Structure 1
């Protein structure tokens, strides 16, 4: 579902103006080290699976749901990869700032497939054979490479180039 009823209700009040929303991303690696990516319907770009957290939903539950909805792959959450805010300007003019928590995940079932609603394609990619990705996707992938790495965050007063492009989803 591209827009939840909760966000649709908020949009009815604020139009395209900025909304601050909680979001999640799943960086899923299989036993061969390949990364699961989905090709988005809204902009045609490849990305790690991601989406908004529904009211009352925990972030880990949201990432399990989002990865499955967008790719058909069931995952187990292994840990937090990082947290950051990221501004997004959608093609329809909606503006959001997501507080995004991304997770290291491993597949536990299912097979990559497009959902036909949010994704055009889904598949596994070897680290050296990734398609063109935004800096935002590359940041989430890079910060989850080491399974025991601490969760990434921008240092106080600092930013990161990946967090500055509002067209990168």
Structure 2
């Protein structure tokens, strides 16, 4: 038999099967698989292994005749003693021959490495992990911003890209040496490369008690499709809800603070508002108020007078928004429930989730 010429061959030339097979084998790559797992705070599960100075995701080489998804499930069971079915891909990374520090004797030809979503694990499932003796020294959960200090550079890039793809909700992404070939706004700004502030503050769905100072006022600002406005610092990728610190000009009115800050930070004008409650901060002590509001319009982006920086404005579902923060599992869930109650009271539908995050770059009125 003969086979049509390979793409790089002269058009019209036919090759014998043996020659064509040899040609393709000469360009063959390794195949690898890994699983990205987070805890309820959004920290990434890493393995410590005796044969490398850096940490790894669970995973390894794909066996002959094995699919990457089956290989990922097998590796989870072999390395962590956890039986799981892996069905959702996050990324496929082409690791170039120079993209991995491999000993020359390995003759590393490059690798196609699949990253699968292992989901969010609760305390019970984490407690059930049984690291393979002699192969896995232990596990730890790491803040995403700490990955570059714990993993090899290529591995850290790949995991952060996969994390952003999971948040973005647009499906698997294609990477080259850990970087997406079609970067989203989350990649461009570098979301999760800066340590998230740890704000595990209890939420109270009621009025601020007399005598407790209101220090800040923040807004869940809902677009008509049920998504909320988030602001990203352009230099660090750090996120925040629109809002900020009370000023004398606000006359002691937290809602006035919220309206002013939304205008200054995001050129955002609010419509109807609804009070949600407050976070109690014992370090002050003080209260940090939360509102839900209708997002009426966004003007031309401008520098925030308080910081001098022009925030990147994105729309995300409320569930996606929580993945940008470390608010604590129960605290975040309570605030999310309050935000949805406020959304419903304002007559705004629930957003389809997941869906891709959208950057707002032009003035928009709803």
If the TM-score is normalised by the length of the shorter chain, which range does it land in?
Answer: 0.5 to 0.7
Structure 2 distance, partners of 1:75, 1:64, is 6
Q: Give the alignment partner of residue 156 of structure 2, picking from 138, 143, 148.
A: 138
Give SS of 1:47's match. coil
**Displacement of 1:27:** 0.8
| C-alpha spacing 1:161/1:69, structure 2 compared with 1 (3 Å) | closer
Q: What is the TM-score with the length of structure 1 in the denominator?
A: 0.66
* 1:80 and 2:126 correspond: no
Structure 1 distance, partners of 2:32, 2:74, is 12
**Displacement of 1:91:** 5.5
Q: Give the alignment partner of residue 65 of structure 1, picking from 68, 74, 80.
A: 74
- Structure of higher RCO (CA pairs closer than 8 Å, 6+ residues apart): 1
* 1:95 and 2:107 correspond: yes
Contact 1:22 1:53 in 2 (8 A): yes
Q: Which has the higher helix share?
A: 2
Q: State the match for 2:169 in structure 1.
A: 148
Structure 1 distance, partners of 2:151, 2:80, is 17
**Displacement of 1:26:** 0.8
Give SS of 2:46's match. strand
Q: State the match for 2:138 in structure 1.
A: 121
Give SS of 2:150's match. coil
Contact 1:81 1:140 in 2 (8 A): no
Larger radius of gyration: 2
Q: State the match for 2:322 in structure 1.
A: none
Structure 2 distance, partners of 1:53, 1:69, is 13
Q: Give the alignment partner of residue 24 of structure 1, picking from 21, 33, 44.
A: 33
Offset from partner CA, 1:63-119 (integer Å, 9 cap, x none): 111123223344443521111222445559323322111111124846344323332
- Measured on the aligned residues, the alpha-carbon RMSD in Å equals 3.1
Contact 2:89 2:117 in 1 (8 A): yes
Q: Which moved more, 1:50-59 or 1:77-86?
A: 77-86
Q: State the match for 2:118 in structure 1.
A: 105
Structure 2 distance, partners of 1:51, 1:59, is 10
Unaligned runs of 5+ in 1: 1-17, 163-169
Give SS of 1:65's match. helix
Contact 1:84 1:99 in 2 (8 A): yes
Q: Which has the higher strand share?
A: 1
Structure 2 distance, partners of 1:92, 1:118, is 24
Unaligned runs of 5+ in 2: 1-26, 180-366
**Displacement of 1:42:** 1.4
Contact 1:19 1:95 in 2 (8 A): no
Q: State the match for 1:34 in structure 2.
A: 43
